Structure 1
Amino acid sequence: MEFLVDMVTTVPDGTSDDEVADMRKREAARSAELAAQGSLLRLWRPPLAPGQWRTWGLFSAADAADLEAVLASMPLRAWRQDAVTPLSPHPNDPGR
């Protein structure tokens, strides 16, 4: 099953630049692991407001519970709100 996840990150006030850099580094490493496992299929950057952190991700998981475990394993989840949309195949999908 595939899921579109709208991920909005809010860095807590008072977080140092070093802490942000470390979090981004750990998130990138975990994202690479999830991609290698086949859980993370794609990432997009939608238009952003100044100072906004937002990403759209396409994930593959057996079900919503499996997806939640994947999302919870990502370091940025501590600062992030996720909106999950389950996707189903369209009969006219040209990619089929």
Structure 2
Amino acid sequence: MEYLVDMVTTVPDGTSEQAVAEMRAREAARSRELAAAGSLLRLWRPPLAPGQWRTWGLFDAPDEERLEQVLASMPLRAWRHDTVTPLSPHPNDPGPGAAR
């Protein structure tokens, strides 16, 4: 099943730029691992407010429990609030695998 996850990150006040850079590097590495495993399908950057960190991610997981495990494995989760929307196929979807 696919899930759209709206991920909003809030860096705690007083966090050093070095700590932020290290966290971002760890997040990037974990994202690559999740993509290679087929759990992370896509990432988008929606319009942002000044100073806002926000990402939309498309994830694949057999159920919400497994999705939660995937999201919890991402380093930025410590600073992030996620809103999960389960997705189901639309009968008129023109994308890959669409019925013709």
TM-score, normalising length: structure 2: 0.96
Q: Which amino acid aligns with 2:53?
A: W
Matched position secondary structure for 1:33: helix
Report runs of 4+ in structure 1 exceeding 6 Å deviation.
Answer: none
Q: Does residue 18 of the first structure (1) align with residue 18 of the second (2)?
A: yes
What CA RMSD, in Å, does the superposition of the two structures yield over aligned residues? 0.3
After TM superposition, list the pairs within 5 Å mapping 1:36-51 onto structure 2: 36-51=36-51
Structure 1 runs not aligned, ≥5 long: none
How far apart, CA to CA, are the structure 1 residues paired with 2:39 and 2:77? 16
Matched position secondary structure for 1:18: helix
Structure 2 runs not aligned, ≥5 long: none
Q: CA deviation at 1:32?
A: 0.1
1:28-87 Cα distance to aligned partner (Å, 9 max, x none): 000000000000000000000000000000000000000000000000000000000000
Structure having the higher Rg: 2
Q: Does residue 63 of the first structure (1) align with residue 53 of the second (2)?
A: no
How much identity, in percent, do the aligned residues show? 82
Q: Which amino acid aligns with 1:91?
A: P
Matched position secondary structure for 2:25: helix
Q: CA deviation at 1:7?
A: 0.1
What is the number of residues matched between the two proteins? Answer: 96
TM-score, normalising length: structure 1: 0.99
Q: Which amino acid aligns with 1:45?
A: R
